[in-house]
């Protein structure tokens, strides 16, 4: 492992998450971390480009992948957060659980989020540590996966935003949301598959598959689908339960005609 990169990355991440904490103290909105976490990847890829020996074309590719994704998603999250001006229910739950030393708990939670960024940076670090020529076939596949994921996620976000605007309180089951209850999460995961693919032809690149696998677990079992669905059931009740019974949870598929389900 490149010690220079690791030292610089740790310092930058600690400072970045400390800045997020200072903004939390000013606003008392814990959800600020979602924007900082997303923007953090573009920042860390820049750090990697400055400290790792990759060729100029590899550095440009990594910056384009990370910045396009990070800025698109980060701006979307930030706009949504500014419009609502309130925390997601999962963060409100923390206020009930952490009754003592709450601010200290938030600070360390932010720093752990920063650690997760460094852990998930593996595909980019592997790719940028390689000084050889790029495998054009692998790069082409990565680019295709990336733009399919990016386009699908942006479209899913746009469809959900428009639906909520004109159908408050209803379950969004149009467009991509007809085939998956969480198409935004699916296409987000596809983007992480593209990050792995980018690094796949580098030395030890095959081991970078841990990143999309970890993201799949987080999205489907931990921070993605479970809290989102609990919130939807609480706010929409039987309408959402019917949606659950007829629509795939993650991978897009044709809706079922009966009420039995499948995920």
The mean pLDDT value for 6-26 works out to 97
> Domain end: 131, 147, 179, which one?
131
86 & 160 share domain: no
118 & 140 share domain: no
The mean pLDDT value for 240-257 works out to 94
12 & 120 share domain: yes
> Domain end: 82, 114, 131, which one?
131
For residue range 102-128, list pLDDT tens digits in order: 999 999 999 999 999 999 999 999 999
**Structure confidence at residue 1 (pLDDT):** 60
116 & 170 share domain: no
Residue 261 has pLDDT above 80, yes or no: no
153 & 89 share domain: no
The mean pLDDT value for 60-82 works out to 95
Residue 223 has pLDDT above 80, yes or no: yes
The mean pLDDT value for 13-33 works out to 95
pLDDT over 70, % of the chain:
97
**Structure confidence at residue 211 (pLDDT):** 98
Of the pLDDT bands very low, low, confident and very high (cuts 50, 70, 90), residue 262 is very low
The range of the structural domain enclosing residue 71 comes to 1-131
116 & 158 share domain: no
> Domain end: 101, 131, 161, which one?
131
DSSP conformation letters of the chain: --HHHHHHHHHHHHHHHHHHHHHHHHH--TTHHHHHHHHHHHHHHHHHHHHS---HHHHHHHHHHHHHHHHHHHHHHHHHHHHH-S--HHHHHHHHH--SSHHHHHHHHHHHHHHHHHHHTHHHHHHHT--S---HHHHHHHHHHHHHHHHHHHHHHHHHHHHHHHSTTS---SGGGGT-S-HHHHHHHHHHHHHHHHHTTSTTGGGGGHHHHHHHHIIIIISSHHHHHHHHHHHHTHHHHHHHHHS-SSS--PPPSSS----
41 & 156 share domain: no
Our count of domains for the chain comes to 2
Residue 259 has pLDDT above 80, yes or no: no
82 & 69 share domain: yes
**Structure confidence at residue 193 (pLDDT):** 98
């Amino acid at each position: 492992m490149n010690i220079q990169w690791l030292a610089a990355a740790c310092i930058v991440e600690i400072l970045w998450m400390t800045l997020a904490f200072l903004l939390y103290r000013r606003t008392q909105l814990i959800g600020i971390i979602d924007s900082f976490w997303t923007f953090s990847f573009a920042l860390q890829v820049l750090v990697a480009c400055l400290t790792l020996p990759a060729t100029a074309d590899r550095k440009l590719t990594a910056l384009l992948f990370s910045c396009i994704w990070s800025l698109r998603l980060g701006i979307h999250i930030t706009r949504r957060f500014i419009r609502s001006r309130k925390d997601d229910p999962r963060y409100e739950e923390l206020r009930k659980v952490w009754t003592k030393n709450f601010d200290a708990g938030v600070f360390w939670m932010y720093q752990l989020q920063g650690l997760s960024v460094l852990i998930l940076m593996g595909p980019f670090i592997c790719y940028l540590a390689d000084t050889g020529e790029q495998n054009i076939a692998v790069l082409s596949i990565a680019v295709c996966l990336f733009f399919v994921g990016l386009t699908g996620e942006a479209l899913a976000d746009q469809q959900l935003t428009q639906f909520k605007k004109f159908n408050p309180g209803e379950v969004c089951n149009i467009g991509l949301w007809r085939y998956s209850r969480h198409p935004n999460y699916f296409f987000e995961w596809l983007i992480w598959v593209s990050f792995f693919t980018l690094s796949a032809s580098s030395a030890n690149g095959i081991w970078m598959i841990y990143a999309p696998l970890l993201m799949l677990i987080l999205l489907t079992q931990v921070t993605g689908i479970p809290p989102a669905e609990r919130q939807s059931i609480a706010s929409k009740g039987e309408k959402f339960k019917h949606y659950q019974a007829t629509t795939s949870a993650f991978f897009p598929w044709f809706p079922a005609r009966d009420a039995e389900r499948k995920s």
